[in-house]
Amino acid sequence: MSLKKIASMTGVSVSTVSRVLNDASPTCASKETKDKVWKAAREIGYRPNEAARQLKKSDKSIKKSTSSTTSTITIILARVTSLEADPFFFELFRHLEIELMKEQILIQQVIYAEESLTQTLPDSDGIIILGRCSRALLSHITSLNRNVVGIWRNSMNFDVDEVICDGEKAAEIAMHHLLSLGHKNIAYIGDCSYESRYIGYCNTLIQNHLSMDYSLIKHTNQSAEEAEKAFLSLLEKRSHGKAEVSAVFCANDASAIRVLELLQKQKKNTRTSISVISIDDIDDAQNTKPYLTTVHIPREGMAHMAVKLLTDRIEGGHTDTVRIEFSCRIMNRESCYANAGHP
């Protein structure tokens, strides 16, 4: 099927279709256009012309011919019930679509975690799991298909291939950045149920001989809505002198963006600035006011290596378990300030 077919189905130009299918950046097209293009591509089972791709890269002769057999995979969403509900996983999924298309692999189905234990999994060549899942679910999946790759923050020490970016290390990077600016009263908004980012938050406080102020810790499901309730509660306590807080560490960007929006509304009533930092570095982190300081999780690289691992396993290239860990880094922008009185 050609790009022209997708252009006809979606009402956009062939050049726009090509940009969307080859570029996950937020500037290549509007979200609505990208959604329409990818939906049409999945519907018709679009596969890129590998020969044309190779010719574009080099004038050398093509040594590898396009396989007539197309692999299919199932993607299981373990941490969210909707891609629309979590920008991080939505952007990671977009990168996966591009990488899978490059390898001429079709997505057979996208399943949410709670559905995976109650229905028969599609007979796919392989499975990619987005987000850490329960051991019960992982055992169920591997009993049905041994070609499995998980993309999550921390290793599950299980017998599946993993692509990880350590959430605990990411949290420590965020906390050390705040500490370097003189902050000691640092609130936490996010999942506190032995979650790696919360562990990183706690460990950093302990290592720096700072006491745990549980009035500054707000357990949420890491949605923007619950982050709003949590932060408004912190602001209320702060205004009544019941809590001192100079900085807020949010477990993800979606929560932090909502906090920044609230701070803009509360600006007249807030005597001093509150620093905000988070983890993910989603596209919207650079559309906030001020721009959000966050820890970058390399979604594109993680998606690329996950597909490479799965392809190699499907083709029998490796049988032992492989773990690939990506590093993370601070994206120092405008939402963190030196604490008053800090030299």
> What are the pLDDT tens digits along the chain (343 aa)?
588 888 878 888 888 888 888 776 666 777 788 888 877 877 777 766 544 444 344 443 334 444 446 789 999 998 887 788 889 999 999 999 999 988 889 888 888 876 556 667 788 999 999 998 888 888 888 988 999 999 998 888 878 999 999 999 999 999 999 999 999 999 999 999 889 999 999 999 999 999 999 999 999 999 999 999 999 999 988 877 777 899 999 999 999 999 999 998 876 555 568 999 999 999 999 999 999 999 999 999 999 999 999 999 999 999 999 999 999 999 999 999 998 755 4
Burial of residue 302, with CB atoms counted within 10 A of its CB: 0-12 exposed, 13-18 middle, 19 or more buried:
buried
For residue 265, the tally of other CB atoms under 10 A from its CB is 9
Task: Provide the strand spans (E) within 153-225.
Answer: 161-164, 186-190, 217-219
Residue 292, classed as helix, strand or coil, is coil
Question: Is there a contact between 131 and 93 (Cβ–Cβ < 8 Å)?
Answer: no
Residue 130, classed as helix, strand or coil, is strand
Instruction: Round to whole Å and give the CA distance between 158 and 135.
Output: 9
Instruction: Round to whole Å and give the CA distance between 286 and 274.
Output: 18
Which is nearest to 135 in space by CA: 120, 150, 115, 119?
150
> Helices marked H in the chain — which ranges?
3-10, 14-22, 31-44, 50-57, 87-102, 113-116, 135-144, 167-180, 196-207, 224-239, 253-265, 299-314
pTM: 0.83
The secondary element (H helix, E strand) that includes residue 176 is helix 167-180
Pairing status of strand 105-112 against strand 186-190 = unpaired
Instruction: Round to whole Å and give the CA distance between 86 and 92.
Output: 10
Instruction: Round to whole Å and give the CA distance between 101 and 85.
Output: 24
Tell me the DSSP string of 33-79: HHHHHHHHHHHHT----HHHHHHHH-SSPP-SPPPSPPEEEEEEESS
What was the pLDDT predicted at 8? Answer: 79
Instruction: Round to whole Å and give the CA distance between 78 and 341.
Output: 44
Residue 185, classed as helix, strand or coil, is coil
Instruction: Round to whole Å and give the CA distance between 256 and 76.
Output: 26
Which is nearest to 165 in space by CA: 333, 323, 332, 331?
323
Cis status of the peptide bond prior to 290, with omega within 30 of 0:
yes
N- to C-terminal Cα distance for the chain? 63
Question: Is there a contact between 268 and 295 (Cβ–Cβ < 8 Å)?
Answer: no
Instruction: Round to whole Å and give the CA distance between 37 and 7.
Output: 8
Token pair of 160 as six digits: 């599946």
Total residue count of the chain as it appears in this document: 343
What was the pLDDT predicted at 341? Answer: 57
- Give the amino acid at 43: E
